[in-house]
Amino acid sequence: MKRIYLIKSILFFIILSFKINAQPDKNMNDQNRSNTPPVASKREKILEIHGDIRKDNYFWLNQREDKEVISYLNDENAYRENSLAHTLDLQDRLYNEITGRIKQVDMSVPYLKNDYMYYTRYEMGKEYPIYSRKIDTSDAQEEIIIDANVMASGLSYYAIGSITVSPDNNLTAYSEDIVSRRLYTIKLKNIYDTLVYDEAIPNTSGSIVWFNDGKAFLYVAKDPETLRSERVYKHIVGQDHSLDELLFEEKDETFNVGIYKSRSNKIIYIGSYSTLTSEVRYCDADNSNSIFNIISPRVRDHLYSVTDDGCYFYITSNDHALNFRLMTASIENYSVTNWIEKIPHRNDVLLEEVNCFQDFIVIEERVRGIVKLRLLDHEQDCYIDFNEMAYTASLVDNYVFNTDKIRYNFTSLTVPTSIFEYNLKHKNSVLLKEQEIVGGYDKDAYISKRLEIKATDGTLVPVSLVYKKDKKKDSGNPLLLYAYGSYGFSLDPSFSSVRLSLLDRGYVYAIAHIRGGQELGRQWYEDGKLLKKKNTFTDFIDCAKGLIDLKYTSKEHLYAMGGSAGGLLMGAVINMAPELFNGVIAAVPFVDVVSTMLDESIPLTTGEFDEWGNPKDKIYYDYMKSYSPYDNVAELNYPAMLVTTGLHDSQVQYWEPAKWVAKLRAMKIGKNPIYLYTNMTTGHGGASGRFERYKETAMEYAFLLDREGIKE
């Protein structure tokens, strides 16, 4: 089911980093002003629904173009910068450490697609990748498809959404975002003369799917205000996009639309997805004039995804199957009454994704929180053995349909990302590449563990940890506890060379696999959403207390971090248990839950009703209000906090964290500082360059280390 959640997960969960480039307000009278926390003026706004009145003193901060708003954000940046000025040397050291581990001249493992070997490479000192290919012969010359360094020249932000080469191998259709609002413009260029055509298509999701004749492709248009992916168009090469044919429009505002082509190269799909329901259409990829047919009409609470092997549809469905089951149906006779069960529902196994090849399928499953790759053909049914307790693995770059080999990546908290090729005939894996850590890395110097901590209601919550082997279980250890816990997104343990800068300074790093994710199956998700959302927060608090009880850390040395919906988690837990943490980092936090979910003009709101609830219903309103971080700020001794946002954030509007910080600072007791950092040029994902993004990471780590008195 990863395809169903891909659209949502790319919208809500990023390991976040932002560039430090905001400057102090030029109208500031003197240097001392930036050493004093800014005070946002209070302008009462009355918000009333269901007979309940809320007063929002900082509602005015939602005016992005208002000079006073910009001035306030700049003042906040100046205050943070001056308050943390004593950590600048440490920030520089951290930044140099982190970027120093990156192999500057590097190349991905080439993969075969339509007679060419495709790869991505980086050059010395360059921020962006160069997308290249060679014809699949030994003496082939490189052909550069896109040099993102050239495209990004002069821009403060640049991101490629997708790159898709035409079936005749001559044209490239690619999508780019230069603002960081995830509104992509599609462009075409000739690979051989580097000519970029004039037919730019704005306001798209970035996805591109070619018909096999190479004369036309599909794309998805977004509403430029709500950012909902809602319409599928067919574009004929050489034609002005104003003439593009509308093939499908999703009129239900709780749904988003995606497009994809199967590995068999025979079928193109349009998927309509909401949190609880899906509907898939298909057409013949060989015929750009073919009609899309519905495989199974939408029925509320029926989630399904579809792929094919050229002869049969493979349908992952939750019909009478909470953790999903696998059904098949002939492409010629695919009505629901003709679906045949191939893999039944299992209470202890979540079926996540099915990958079809000509002679076999690969199934990505999750068993007690651990990802498994299952290989199934006419002769065998087996699993790839990873010999680890906590890891993540998934298929990657498998574009050849008729093959007996598959590629997958593997990583754990101690093992760098590695690309393997598995031979189905010989039943063995060959390492193609392991991420190189410049300066050296000894994985045997670190240890990872997987614990289970009992929540208040008796539920066992998994926690993954990593730390240096020479660390003793000592309550004096600093520990950073990270979590997300929303949208059914499973937060799998993976390696981070960046994280070494904390581990090598004595930190323990822990991931709490709390309810609201999907690590332990669909029920794990269901128990952390809507009217059960508070389980997410209490799980995190119980994990924090459990780690303290197990002597991994203490309240004086415990830190918490989360981003986006994980930022909501941070906001909720500091209202519920502020005394547990010595410091908190909330990145692009979704904290004004009620007001945001009442405003359907804000991006993503309508598609979120089945995640949080619709506050127009009083039952959901009351429940959401009871945990919404902004609505529950109180006179508490909050921990030290670093809150980050982006002025152009399309997922969580900048004013949510800005209002939250203003209210926290006005109401809190105690002397712990609260800092707000607004990246004035980017959005939800922060800086786009491979080095620049780590400036914010260095700032965040310096904030944590400074709380521990670590100066270098």
Report the distance separating Cα 357 and Cα 365, nearest Å.
Answer: 17
Task: Please say if the pLDDT value at position 19 is more than 80.
Answer: no
Q: What is the pairing mode between strands 479-482 and 558-563?
A: parallel
Does the annotation mark 378 as catalytic? no
Lowest mean pLDDT among 74-88, 289-303, 687-701: 687-701
- Tell me what pLDDT residue 6 has: 38
Does residue 136 or residue 258 have the better pLDDT?
258
Residues facing residue 283 across a β-bridge: 268
What percent of the chain is modeled with pLDDT above 70?
A: 94
Catalytic residue among 180, 262, 684, 688, which? 684
pLDDT in tens, 154-210: 998 899 999 999 999 999 999 999 987 889 999 999 998 877 888 899 999 999 999
Q: Which CATH number fits domain 106-347: 2.130.10.120, 1.10.287.40, 3.90.45.10, 3.40.50.150?
A: 2.130.10.120
Q: What is the pLDDT of residue 22?
A: 33
How many C-beta atoms lie closer than 10 Å to residue 347's C-beta? 9
**How far from 247 is each of 220, 244, 257, 288, 594, CA to CA, in Å?**
10, 9, 12, 11, 36
Over residues 632-653, the mean pLDDT reads: 90
For residue 649, name the pLDDT band (cuts at 50, 70, 90). low
**Average pLDDT rounded to a whole number, residues 484-496:** 96
Predicted local distance difference test score (pLDDT) of residue 25: 36
564 is catalytic: yes
Query: Pairing mode, if any, of strands 278-284 and 293-294?
Result: antiparallel
- Active site (annotated) includes residue 684: yes
Helix residue ranges, H only, 550-592? 565-576
Please determine, for residue 397, whether its predicted confidence score (pLDDT) is greater than 50.
yes
The first and second tokens of residue 249, run together, are 């429009």
Task: Calculate what percentage of the chain has a pLDDT beyond 90.
Answer: 85
Catalytic residue among 132, 156, 649, 650: 649
Beta pairing class for 201-210 and 216-222: antiparallel
pLDDT band per the 50, 70, 90 thresholds, residue 17: very low
Q: Is residue 671 within 8 Å of 705, Cβ to Cβ? A: no
Residue 8 reports pLDDT greater than 60: no
Provide the 3-class DSSP secondary structure of residue 186: strand
SS3 431: strand
Nearest to 329 by CA among 316, 345, 318: 316
pLDDT at 7: 37
Res 34: pLDDT: 63
Looking at residue 473, its pLDDT comes to 80
Q: Cα(first)–Cα(last) distance of the chain, in Å?
A: 45
Asked if the model's pLDDT at residue 41 lies above 50, the reply is yes
Between 338 and 683, the higher pLDDT residue: 338
In the structure encoding, which two tokens stand for residue 379, read together?
């002769």
CA distances from 161 to 146, 195, 250, 668 (A): 12, 20, 22, 42
Q: Are 662 and 645 in contact (CB under 8 A)?
A: no
User: Residues 564, 628, 650, 688: which is the catalytic one?
Assistant: 564
**Mean pLDDT computed over 449-454:** 96
> Is the pLDDT confidence value at 658 over 60?
yes
pLDDT at 474: 80
pLDDT score for 692: 84
Taking all residues of the chain, what is their mean pLDDT, rounded to a whole number?
A: 92
Q: Tokens standing for 98?
A: 């982190």
pTM exceeds 0.85 for this model:
yes
- Please say whether the dihedral angle defined by the alpha carbons of residues 464, 467, 472 and 478, taken in this order, is positive or negative: negative
* Overall average pLDDT of the 230-234 stretch: 98
Q: Is the pLDDT of residue 475 over 90?
A: no
Q: Which residues pair with 271 in a beta bridge?
A: 258, 280
pLDDT digits (tens, 9 = 90+) for 570-585: 999 999 999 999 999 9
Q: What is the pLDDT of residue 21?
A: 34
pLDDT for residue 357: 98
Q: What does the alpha-carbon distance between residue 429 and residue 498 come to, in Å, rounded to a whole number?
A: 28
CATH of domain 453-673: 3.40.50.1820
> What was the pLDDT predicted at 712?
86
Lowest mean pLDDT among 271-275, 636-640, 681-685: 681-685
Q: Categorize the per-residue pLDDT at 547 as very low, low, confident or very high, splitting at 50, 70 and 90.
A: very high
**Are 646 and 655 a contacting pair, CB within 8 Å?**
no
Please state, in angstroms and rounded to a whole number, the distance separating the CA atoms of residues 123 and 127: 8
pLDDT value at residue 195: 76
- Output the pLDDT for position 244: 97
For the record, the structure tokens of 662 come out as: 């203003």
pLDDT for residue 68 is more than 70: yes
The confidence band for 688, taking pLDDT boundaries of 50, 70 and 90, is low
Question: Which of 27-36, 135-144, 354-363, 395-404 shows the lowest per-residue confidence on average (mean pLDDT)?
Answer: 27-36
> Is the confidence at residue 11, as pLDDT, over 70?
no
